[in-house]
Amino acid sequence: MPRKRDPNRDKAFLIFQKHEGNITNRAIAEELDVLEKTISAWKSRDKWVAQLGGKVRSTTKKKRSTTKRSSEGENIRNKKKQQVVDALVEAGTYSPALDLLIEIYLDAYEDYARERSEKLRKELAKYLGQLGLDGKNKDLIKKSGVLLEKSKEEPPEEKPAEESNKLLQFRQRMSK
């Protein structure tokens, strides 16, 4: 058995009709103390615009962005981006291909600045690792401004002959 029709549904249409369609869903919702999405659903399902003569009317004056950043926030973001780029250049690993990853890191950094949680901290660490700025890259080390592979920079230490002989003797005994 279907539910009873909400009496506010008819009241909402009467308000819409009284204003000749020049009223926002939000204003109707506030007047009737219902959700704005509910008004939108009623308006769509009951085809209120078509009942008023079919003329589509826009009730919003201008588009609003909910993700607009303040200029101060943008300056902080630009400074942080420059720090990351400078660190990558210093390490000799910067490439324009990393710009997208840098932007993702900056988004995660802003989230972490708003809400400091262990999950967000780990996400930041992951992005730093992907950028190569986590300090864990042991294959490359910096020497006099040039990155070298570790194997090329430091020759391996010679083990004493006695120690390697003992190892050979042990392996021979085990293979018998």
Mean pLDDT value across the chain? 77
Q: Which residues, 6 or more positions from 93, have their beta carbon under 8 angstroms from its beta carbon?
A: 131, 132, 147
Confidence of residue 115 (pLDDT cuts 50, 70, 90): confident
The radius of gyration computed from the CA coordinates of the chain, to the nearest angstrom, equals: 33
* Residue position matching structure tokens 């003992």: 166
pLDDT at residue number 150: 45
pLDDT in tens, 129-140: 888 777 665 455
**143 exposure class (CB count in 10 Å sphere: 0-12, 13-18, 19+):** exposed
Reading the block at residue 66, the tokens are: 């909910």
Reading the block at residue 33, the tokens are: 């103390």
Nearest to 45 by CA among 12, 86, 70: 12
pLDDT in tens, 143-173: 434 444 444 545 555 555 555 677 777 777 7
pLDDT in tens, 55-76: 655 555 655 655 555 566 678 8
